[in-house]
Amino acid sequence: MKGAIVNNNQRDAARERQQKQQSEQQNRLSVEQLEKIRQQAYDEGYQQGLEEGKNTFLQQSTPFIEQFETLLLSFKDPLELLDENLENQLVNLCLLISKEVIRKEVTTSPQTILQAVQEGLALLPKSEDRVRIRLHPDDASCVRKVYHEKSPQNCLIQEDSSLSQGGCFLEVKSSTINATIEQKILKATQSLLQLNSQETSSHANDQ
């Protein structure tokens, strides 16, 4: 009898353990399932939130983007004007550099002033009148040395400290020739600015 009771107790205990294990397994599955469901819901909500947030941002930012585009368009003409001013400044800078280069060339190469005098004489009309040549004192000294301390035939060399080196001013009764450095640079400036203006107009027409 006692043996039967022991066996029954063992069976009951085994059954309880099995039921307990099954219950724990079911609970564990339930927790895992709940966690999976929760994570899935979170992910879906997060993704939906991202999409809604992006759409909201685009809707709110569109007016600012349009305002910025309008602002850029309003800057178009001033920027073009700035480009033109910059081009003119670059032209003036190039001319300034050219002037300094010419002056240095005159200092190191006396042939430059002799060429200027000869070109000026060639432009004068043929006449029996005496030509007066005004030069910077250093240039006048250079020309006299070439002509052995004498002026060129039918010419009178005069020193003029107001003139820059490298140029000259020739006069006869009927006409004058301005072959000064300043005059040469002025002509070069006008040519460059005219060319620059033509290119700017052509570019505007192409647009």
Cα–Cα dist 90/98, whole Å: 12
Q: What percent of the chain has pLDDT over 90?
A: 3
**Mean pLDDT, residues 29-42 taken together:** 59
Write out pLDDT tens, residues 115-148. Answer: 888 888 888 877 767 889 999 898 888 888 877 6
Domain range list for the chain: 86-201
Q: Whole-model pTM?
A: 0.45
Q: How far is CA 122 from CA 9, 52, 90, 156, 159, in A?
A: 141, 85, 34, 16, 21
Question: Which one has a higher pLDDT value, 183 or 168?
Answer: 168
Give the architecture-level CATH label for domain 86-201: 2-Layer Sandwich (3.30)
